[in-house]
Every structure is written in C-alpha cells, then in structure tokens.
Amino acid sequence: MALYAIADLHLSGFKSKPMDIFGENWKNHSDKIKINWSNIVENDDTVLIAGDISWAINYDEVDCDLRFVENLPGKKIFVKGNHDYWWEGISRLNGQYKNMKFLQNISESYKNIAICGTRGWLPPSDDKFTNDDIKIYKREIIRAELSLSNTIGKSFDEVVFVMHYPPAYEDFRDTEFTELFKKYNVKKVVYGHLHGEKNFEMGISGEHNGIEYMLVSSDYIDFTPKKIIEC
C-alpha cells in the first residue's frame, strides 16, 4: 500500500481543449495520465490530487472528468485548484463518487496518516499580490487551520498537507501556511500550479524546518503519480 500525489490533471472530457499549447509534452496528456497511473497505482493505494482537476465550469460539465478519475485505481483525495470553477456543493461531491473525497475544512486519513489540505493562494510577498487578494488569502489560511485542527485529539503517526498553490516560494521565506505546518507538526507538503521549466524552481522544495515540500504538477512529474509514502 502506498500514498501518491499528482496535481493539474487539466481534464476536458466535456469539450476539446488541447493542452499542448503549453508544451509538446502536454500532447494527449490525459492518455498518459491514465496509462502511467494504471501501471503503478493499486486499488488499495491512495492518490492525493492537488487541484486544477478539470476545465469544466459547472457540475454537468465536470461529471465526465470525475468519472474518468473515479475509474482509475485507488482511493482519491482532492483539493480545489484555481481553475476548478465547478467545485461547489461539497456534500454532493462527497456523496456522488466511489472512493473519492473532496477536502474542504476537514481532514481524511490513510492508514495512520492524516491528510489535510486546501487550495491556498498567492502569498503577500508575490509581486502580483494586490489588495483584492487579501480576503482570499486569509480565507485560505482559515481553511487550512480548520483542516489541520480536525486532527487534534486523534492518533496519527504523520500529517500530510495537500494544496494547489505553493505555500512559499524559492526564497523559502516563511508564510502563514508554513507557520501552520510547523504548529501542527506537518511532515510532508505536496502542491502543484507551477508549469514549465522556467517556473518549476519557483516553489519551495526539499526539506525545511523538518518539513518535506514536493512539487507534483503533472508536467513536472511526467504525468505519473509520485509515490510519497510506502506503507
């Protein structure tokens, strides 16, 4: 049994939206994901999916993409990405699909591991951060702590946090997210959002303050779920 992670599936089964405009490696990327995933993930494994799941706008459009993921091996745990406009009605989503959970203000578990998460947002240190981002950023901090606090009083050997945006950037400057990770003794953080060679190095990576940070954008990990824990 193992825990895997991948982000940025960018599925578009409801309409044609080729992704190879972002690079030749994105050509037929959904086929690559299906083949690679099926070759390594077993039914008793769990895969964390760190946002940007589908280009759909509403539930009717996203259903075929979620069914695509549902039919892949393993249990799946999702957090929202910045392009997941269809994400609403969390109770409906969590009741609709087999072996699939959508994290929002709660935690899930895998064996003796707590899985927490939220979408995240641009950090205030980012050059693109504006006053309009403050409310969203603060809300995501609240959601992150709600998810993490859901583990209090429960017996877990390890806490893993999954988010879409990088929790910090390449300067490794602490953010409110990284402070929360220290407060709740998080051991691993996986995230996506960054695409293309020139952007892969922008996010925090490796071990910092006893926490391991991993970028799992699909194009960074060659459209193959990355194993993060073997149980």
What CA–CA distance (Å, rounded) separates 47 from 6? 7
Closest Cα partner for 12 from 1, 24, 28, 23?
A: 28
Per-residue pLDDT of the chain (231 residues; tens, 9 = 90+): 999 999 999 999 887 777 766 778 888 999 999 999 999 999 999 999 999 999 999 999 999 999 999 999 999 999 999 999 999 999 999 999 999 999 999 999 999 999 999 999 988 888 888 999 999 999 999 999 999 999 998 889 999 999 999 999 877 788 999 999 999 999 999 999 999 888 888 889 999 999 999 999 999 999 999 999 997
State both tokens at 210.
């006893």
Residue 199 is predicted with a pLDDT of 87
209: tokens are 């303050």
Angle between helices 176-183 and 131-149 (to 10 degrees): 10
**What is the pLDDT at residue 8?**
97
What pLDDT shows up at residue 198? 83
* pTM reported for the whole predicted model: 0.95
